[in-house]
Amino acid sequence: MKKADREYLSKVADIGCIICYKNGYPQTPCEIHHIRDIGLGLGVRNVHTNTLPLCPLHHRGNEGIHGMGRKAWERVYGTQWELLDKVKEILNDEEN
């Protein structure tokens, strides 16, 4: 991993879980989730800029993308790409 990737992921993690953030609970401890894209093989991660900060509950718990499955999770929380847009919006606001 390059230094720029580590720095970017650190900024993403500093936001906290994006779902908790949208629910009024910023900076909850989170894990980095790489968005799974159509066409990526098993075990192949997306680029580091296509990541979401998710708390353990929303990442791999019963309410998580890996617990509920992507389609069910996206019906509840919005698409991964919509959430990524919010992450990038927050990062841009912090830079300005």
According to DSSP, residue 50 is labeled S
Q: How far apart are CA 79 and CA 75, in angstroms?
A: 8
CA distance 70 to 74: 6
| Tens of pLDDT, residues 30-80 | 999 988 765 555 566 677 889 999 999 999 999 999 999 999 999 999 999
pLDDT of 83 reads 97
Q: Which residue has the higher pLDDT, 58 or 94?
A: 58
pLDDT for residue 25: 94
Element (H, E) at 33: strand 31-34
pLDDT score recorded for residue 3: 93
The domain that holds 36 is classified in CATH as 3.30.40.190
Band of the pLDDT at 21, cuts 50, 70, 90? very high
| Cβ–Cβ < 8 Å for 13, 6 | no
What is the residue range of 14's domain? 3-95
Tokens representing 38 are: 């159509």
Domains held by the chain: number: 1
